[in-house]
Amino acid sequence: MAKRKYGLNLIRFNGGPGCSSLSGFLNENGPFQWQPGTYRPVENPYTWVNLTNMLWVEQPVGVGYTQGVPNITNEIELSQEFAGFYKQFATTFGLENRKVYLTGESYAGYYVPYIADEFIKQEDDVYFNLAGIAVNDPILGDSTLAQQVTAVPYLDYWANVFSLNASFTKAIHERADQCNYTTYYNTYLSFPPPPAPFPVLPDPFASDSEYPTCDLFSAVYTAAQAVNPCFNIYHILDTCPFLWNQLGIVNQGDYQPPGAQVYFNRTDVQAAINAPVGTNWMQCSDKNVFGGATNNQSLSDRSLGPAADGTLTRVIEATNNTIIGAGNLDFLLPTNGTLMALQNITWNGQQGFQGYPATEFYTPYHPEYNDGALAGAGYLGLWGSERGLTFYQVQLAGHELPEYAPGAAYRVMELLLGRIKSFGDASDFTTQEGDFTGTTPIYKPAKVQKVLH
């Protein structure tokens, strides 16, 4: 917990399910960063601690340093457990009577809306005065819609990056047509959307084949790895070599150098942060956090996506301050999959966005004093806002958006907290001093000696 003077609290979750929010703390928005491939930690000028009180939470039970045995099977149980924890935490540290904001990424697209809905149900402004939510690169509903339908259009948009051959490209388009993905995409990714709920597509894995015909996402991913063995599903511009992450591996196939030690597994680190010394900390747990009291490894989260069961709608309408965004270099959960999920829900009297969110997203020009933590400026993406819901996209950001576009992510928090009126606001960062308009150099570059090699 980073405690500041502000009368509000912002809580941050990572996803998984089963991944630690210390990942976000160390790689994304904490007071210092130790990003993959870098020599040592550096101060983070774009830490959200500059804006508000921050709380990074490892949850549910079974994640990171948490104690106990996982005993939940769905998001309702998860949100009730978290509400109980937060009330005790706020009481212990004197954090009552504050506005609360919830943020997260990836599978926190489930966590955040469900926990927000539980806070609303509590009807208790002493502890649960929910003022808004923000999620980036989230899973909100049907994974077939989020990943399979969007796989081929995503490949087409970034064709020069994927660099796949003509025969594969032709074949994958034919499969998209056969699976009805092409027609579905062109019909339902529209503004305004066709009225009424979208039809549910068949399960792409409902096949006896080892390679189901309609699992186009895996087909594109496998082809991309053949061309680029270091293809990063979270940030598609990466090429070899693999960059070692001090937080360790996340997915099967991730690289860990021989003898490398995960930072949060160092006993001196564990002792320094008052964590249980000797814990086998993992960035993403190998435990089934939704396995229930019997630790049933065959179970998974039994809840529907928050866009599918009304949860997200209730939160939007209760707060009128919901922000959802995406990095366009994220292949795991492509931007248009998130947009399609939103086009399939109704909030504040209408279904979906009535117009494509196409206003330019402005990130202020600013001084840089730390070459180890830089952030882009200017028009970095697009956004739109209707009826209490804001959607944005950042062109050169990956799945972990605050890591790849820290200035844009900082701007998102300024909007969430009510410091600016919109992403079109051309003013400076609210914590910035000086006038940096982008029309003159913001610092004098050092003299560089040319080297031939």
State the catalytic residues. Answer: 106, 330, 399
Q: 105 has which bridge partners?
A: 136
* Cα–Cα nearest to 408, from 352, 365, 444, 353: 365
* Cα–Cα nearest to 107, from 278, 387, 303: 303
Residue type, 8: L
The first and second tokens of residue 281, run together, are: 């900390």
The first and second tokens of residue 41, run together, are: 């930690």
Preceding peptide of 241 cis, ω within 30°: yes
Q: How far is CA 61 from CA 30, 79, 117, in A?
A: 22, 12, 20
Distance CA 103, CA 101 (A): 7
Instruction: Give the distance, in angstroms, between the CA of residue 126 and the centroid of all CA atoms in the same chain.
Output: 29
Q: Is 264 helix (H, G, I), strand (E, B) or coil?
A: helix
Distance CA 244, CA 416 (A): 33
Q: How far is CA 295 from CA 279, 429, 433, in A?
A: 20, 47, 53
The first and second tokens of residue 337, run together, are: 């999959």
Q: 378 has which bridge partners?
A: 363
Q: How far is CA 399 from CA 106, 203, 350, 364, 446, in A?
A: 8, 25, 29, 22, 33
Strand-strand pairing, 322-327 and 389-394: parallel
Residue type, 71: N
